[in-house]
Amino acid sequence: MDKIIIFDTTLRDGEQSPGASLNINEKLEIAKQLAVLGVDVIEAGFPVSSPGDFEAVKIVAKSVKGPIVCGLARSLEKDIDYAYNAVKHSGRPRIHVFLATSKIHMKYKLKKAEDEILKLAVAAVKYAKTKCSDIEFSPEDASRTEHTFLHRVVEAVIGAGATTVNIPDTVGYATPFEFGELIKAIKNNVPNIDRCVISVHCHNDLGLAVSNSLAAVLNGARQVECTINGLGERAGNASLEEIVMGVRTRNDIFKALYTGVNTKELYKTSRLVSKLTGMPVQPNKAIVGSNAFAHESGIHQDGVLKERITYEIIKPDDVGFEETKIVLGKHSGRHAFLERIKRLGLDLKKDQIEEAFDRFKKLADKKKEVFDEDLETIVDEEISKIPEKFHLLHFYIASGDQVKPTASIKLKSRNKILEASSSGDGPVDACYKAVDKITGRTGSLLDYQIRSVTSGKDALGEVSVKVKSKGRIVSGRGASTDIIEASIKAYVNAVNKLVYKK
């Protein structure tokens, strides 16, 4: 087995996404989660760029154990000094030096000839090597660099001490076939290439970053530089989660190749980065998007319900999702409808099924998505209102920032008045624990949602809850201008359904 080194640059290139700036604490939180995820290298920042970035890299180097901690530097002694002083606190420090090598960059940005560039690159690597043993060099804009010159640069920096040479597709210009050929040509034409790891860093300007990276892997690259959610300059970088799951899922293509990433942490890491950067994940984003394992088409739903692999090539829990999501909408069929009814623990007689399904389809034409609560309303009206064994009479709440929330609840059951008190993490939690004491049924709250049924200050609030008890899952609803009262009514409604089903 041959390991693909996962080099995560979310904290450096990912943070360069417009609007994605992170403070030191946020960088550290992400870095710690990246270590849990199992990445091999964390590029924590560009230390010379600002005092804040220097401190962030330094703190990550001091605090995060396991991965290599890397700092970026231009081919300048000042940059290299800053990078080293930031990463030296890590047990596994790396300095990443870069210098542009394409004719476009040499002419318009650097205004230097090939021989000058070659000397600068070698000098920078040699100087970095006096600070740290692990040195990575990147010939910026390598995919647009003249091949013969690129080979000379790579050979020279390896001779100077580079242990990793990264081949960037800096502007996302390459296509998979030519980028794979570029890596193959480097392997075949650089005499000392076996003394270093070939890395790639692909941008997504043409939407080909992941494809280019994987093509490079097939041609000998053994490190891939990528970011969570594909964040990065302009259109972003190769997406870490797509790279990792591509190698894992298509092991028939990537024979004997693997990564050390704990894929079950992918979804959690994605959501953390999205939350802290303020960059939302598009619903149809591969691997970690909210729709990645969602099915609405009746044909797809029928197939997935019969055998998951008909329409899913990855198990949702392999990347940290809880389960496949069957979205009920106008494209859904009878199989998905009946499966959801069954899962909700609702029971319909044969003569009620057709009428309920017809009502569901009519509702689906009016709504984008039909939720469990909508189905329950349909079914409730078909099989008549569920009898109330327990009915809320009164409640009393004591809560505040200086006191532990407590609740006293009175329920009516037949002709008896039942009362109990409890404390909890909040007023709603205290109420639910008191209800549990009265009813003798302990429910696990799976979901809690509040919405305004009407508008204005005196709006009627509706609470929807999903409760699991002894393997059964039910939903409950309650409405009131007092949101605590609505919360209690919703929970009692769920309890009544559990009692009724039993």
Whether residue 197 is predicted with pLDDT greater than 80 in this model: the reply is yes
CB neighbour list of residue 88: distance below 8 Å, 6 or more residues apart: 61, 131, 132
Whether residue 383 is predicted with pLDDT greater than 60 in this model: the reply is no
Domains 2-277 and 391-501 share a fold: no
471-480 average pLDDT score: 80
Whether residue 274 is predicted with pLDDT greater than 60 in this model: the reply is yes
The domains of the chain are located at 2-277, 294-383, 391-501
498-502 average pLDDT score: 74
Higher model confidence: residue 6 or residue 315?
6
What percent helix, strand, coil does the chain show, rounded to 5? Answer: 45, 25, 30
Look at residue 43 in the predicted model and tell me its pLDDT. 98
Contact indicator for 12, 18 with CB cutoff of 8 Å: no
Whether residue 35 is predicted with pLDDT greater than 80 in this model: the reply is yes
202-210 average pLDDT score: 97
Please count the other Cβ atoms lying within 10 Å of the Cβ belonging to residue 488: 26
Look at residue 393 in the predicted model and tell me its pLDDT. 94
pTM beyond 0.75: no
Of 282-286, 372-376, 468-472, 480-484, the one with minimum mean pLDDT is 372-376
What is the CATH code of the structural domain delimited by 2-277? 3.20.20.70
Look at residue 454 in the predicted model and tell me its pLDDT. 47
Query: Which CATH homologous superfamily contains domain 391-501?
Result: Alpha-isopropylmalate synthase LeuA, regulatory domain (3.30.160.270)
Work out the angle between the directed axes of helices 114-129 and 147-160 (0-180°, nearest 10): 20
* pLDDT confidence band for 501 (50 / 70 / 90): low
CA distance 46 to 49: 6
Length of the chain: 502
Look at residue 378 in the predicted model and tell me its pLDDT. 65
pLDDT tens digit string along 308-360?
777 677 888 888 887 666 567 677 777 877 777 777 777 677 767 777 787 77
Look at residue 305 in the predicted model and tell me its pLDDT. 66
